[in-house]
C-alpha cells in the first residue's frame, strides 16, 4: 500500500510538460474535480484548453479519469475539451487505470496520473504502476474536504517537489 505521490505541484500549470515527455510519458490521466476545475464548474476554461494544446504539442495525450457519480459530468467536460474520458473510474482500484491504458494502447511506464487526492488518484496510480503527480486542490469548499486534506498531509510532505521531475 503506497500512498506517497512521486511528485508534488502547486497546480497542473506548474508541471514541466517537456520533462514529463522526456521521461517517456505519452498518456496523462487527469482527475477532474478540484484538479482541473472546481466542483462548482462544469466546462473547461481557456487556460485548460491551452494546457491541453501544450500537452498535445509535446506528444502527450490527455485523458479524463474521474470518479464523479454526477451523470454526464465527466462526459460533458471531456467532450467540450475534445479528449477521451472515463467516468465512475473506481479509483483507487487499478481497473479503471488499466482500462484507460488498454483503450489508449499505453503501458504503465508510458503513463502518469495527475490528481488532488491521496486516497483515490495517488493510491490508485501507485496500484496501477504509473507515475503519480499530485496537485493542490483548487479549492477546499467543504469542511469534509479540508479535513481530508489534513489527513493526507503526511503523505503529501513525503513527495518530491515538482522541480526535480
Single out the segment in contact with Mg ion by CB under 5 A; choices: 8-16, 32-40, 69-77, 122-130: 32-40
Rg over CA atoms, the chain: 14
For residues 148 and 79, give the distance between their C-alpha atoms in angstroms, rounded to a whole number. 30
Work out whether 152 is an interface residue with Mg ion (CB under 5 A). Answer: no
Q: Can you say whether the dihedral through the CA atoms of 34, 39, 40, 43 is positive or negative?
A: positive
DSSP 8-state class, residue 73: H
For residues 35 and 116, give the distance between their C-alpha atoms in angstroms, rounded to a whole number. 6
Distance of CA 59 to the CA centre of its chain: 17
Q: How far is the CB of 77 from Mg ion (least distance, A)?
A: 13
Q: How far is the CB of 119 from Mg ion (least distance, A)?
A: 10
Q: How many residues belong to the site for Mg ion (CB under 5 A)?
A: 5
For residues 120 and 89, give the distance between their C-alpha atoms in angstroms, rounded to a whole number. 10
Work out whether 116 is an interface residue with Mg ion (CB under 5 A). Answer: yes
Return the C-alpha cell found at 94.
487499478
Q: How far is the CB of 31 from Mg ion (least distance, A)?
A: 4
Q: How far is the CB of 14 from Mg ion (least distance, A)?
A: 17
Residue number with CB closer to Mg ion (31 or 152): 31
Residue number with CB closer to Mg ion (17 or 32): 32
Q: Which residues contact Mg ion (rule: CB under 5 A)?
A: 31, 33-35, 116
Amino acid at each position: 500500500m503506497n500512498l506517497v505521490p512521486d511528485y508534488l505541484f502547486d497546480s497542473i500549470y506548474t508541471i514541466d510538460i517537456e520533462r514529463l515527455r522526456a521521461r517517456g510519458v505519452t498518456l496523462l490521466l487527469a482527475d477532474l474535480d478540484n484538479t482541473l476545475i472546481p466542483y462548482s464548474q462544469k466546462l473547461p476554461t481557456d487556460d485548460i484548453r491551452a494546457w491541453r494544446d501544450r500537452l498535445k504539442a509535446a506528444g502527450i495525450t490527455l485523458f479524463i479519469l474521474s470518479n464523479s457519480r454526477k451523470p454526464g459530468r465527466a462526459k460533458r467536460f471531456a467532450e467540450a475539451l475534445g479528449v477521451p474520458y472515463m467516468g465512475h473510474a473506481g479509483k483507487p482500484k487499478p481497473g479503471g487505470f488499466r482500462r484507460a491504458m488498454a483503450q489508449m494502447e499505453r503501458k504503465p511506464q508510458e503513463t502518469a496520473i495527475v490528481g488532488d487526492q491521496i486516497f483515490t488518484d495517488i493510491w490508485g496510480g501507485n496500484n496501477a504502476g504509473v507515475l503519480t503527480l499530485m496537485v493542490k486542490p483548487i479549492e477546499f469548499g467543504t469542511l469534509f474536504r479540508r479535513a481530508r486534506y489534513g489527513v493526507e498531509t503526511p503523505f503529501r510532505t513525503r513527495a518530491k517537489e515538482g522541480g526535480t521531475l
